[in-house]
Chains A and B, each alone.
Chain A
Amino acid sequence: GAVVSQHPSWVICKSGTSVKIECRSLDFQATTMFWYRQFPKQSLMLMATSNEGSKATYEQGVEKDKFLINHASLTLSTLTVTSAHPEDSSFYICSPFQAGDYEQYFGPGTRLTVT
């Protein structure tokens, strides 16, 4: 299977600060990147979809100015949580996707705790 890395795996930040999460597809080119959010004991909720070199498309209810997504290359995408608040504390998972494939791969996730 494909190798996907996420960094950091766990981050604690203070309220009001910004946090950047990196997602890398190590052995394939991700034409599309999905970002999910998962609260404890709940399912994955799609936040946004980004295509390499294009602006991200956000799902309804997701603030695009709070969750900045950059997909500058086929192997790297970043999610920046701006002005983080305690309610942003969650588990964030990236999922790179390669055009022509029907299988999605998932990063190991990043646990964000905002104090």
Chain B
Amino acid sequence: AQTVTQSQPEMSVQEAETVTLSCTYDTSENNYYLFWYKQPPSRQMILVIRQEAYKQQNATENRFSVNFQKAAKSFSLKISDSQLGDTAMYFCAFLRPNTDKLIFGTGTRLQVFP
């Protein structure tokens, strides 16, 4: 069974600094999708970034980038130039092939302080 593990329950970073959130997963599949979702205090789930497993190039979206290590089954999120609005819960998610079901990690609560 696929599992997603986020080993950092809480992280904090100073504004303008860089922070990396960790995520590992377990699967026997070769083709799949990985996502990072942000859930701010409003609790609206927001897609931050996605990565297709067949792509070797790491995905980037403005200040957000991932370090995708397929062999190690690792999918970390790097947030550069952290902003106060980045304060949120971050969930790593794995899209199980052929089921369209997302498997979420337990989440990392990120606090950005001035």
Chain B 82-113 per-residue mask, 1 if CB under 8 angstroms from chain A, else 0: 00000000010001000011101111010000
Whether a CB of chain A sits under 8 angstroms from the CB of B64 is no
Which listed residue (A32, A42, A102, A106) contacts B44, Cβ 8 A? Answer: A106
**Which residue among B45, B102, B107 has the maximum number of chain A CB atoms within 10 Å of its CB?**
B45
**Stretch of A11-19, A43-51, A61-69, A79-87 that contacts chain B:** A43-51
Q: In the assembled complex, which residues on chain A have CB atoms less than 8 Å from the CB atom of B45? A: 44, 93, 95, 106
Least CB separation from A49: chain B residue: B101
B103's nearest neighbour on chain A, judged by CB, is A46
Residues of A within 8 A of B95 (CB): 102, 104
Interface size, chain A (Cβ < 8 Å): 20
Residues of B within 8 A of A106 (CB): 44-45
Which residues in B have their C-beta under 8 angstroms from that of A41? Answer: 109
Q: How far is the CA of A46 from the CA of B106 in the complex (A)?
A: 13
CB of B106 within 8 A of CB of A42, answer yes
Q: Which of B43, B100, B105 contacts A43 (CB 8 A)?
A: B105
Q: Is the CB of B91 within 8 A of A44?
A: yes
CA distance in complex: A95, B95 (Å): 13
B30 at the interface (CB under 8 A from A): no
Contact with A along B29-45 (1 / 0, CB 8 A): 00001000000001111
A-side residues, CB < 8 A to B, are 1, 32, 34, 38, 41-44, 46, 49, 91, 93, 95, 97, 102-104, 106, 108-109
Jot down 13 A-B pairs with beta carbons below 8 A, ordered by A.
Answer: A32-B100, A41-B109, A43-B105, A43-B107, A44-B45, A44-B104, A49-B100, A49-B101, A93-B45, A95-B45, A102-B50, A103-B47, A104-B100
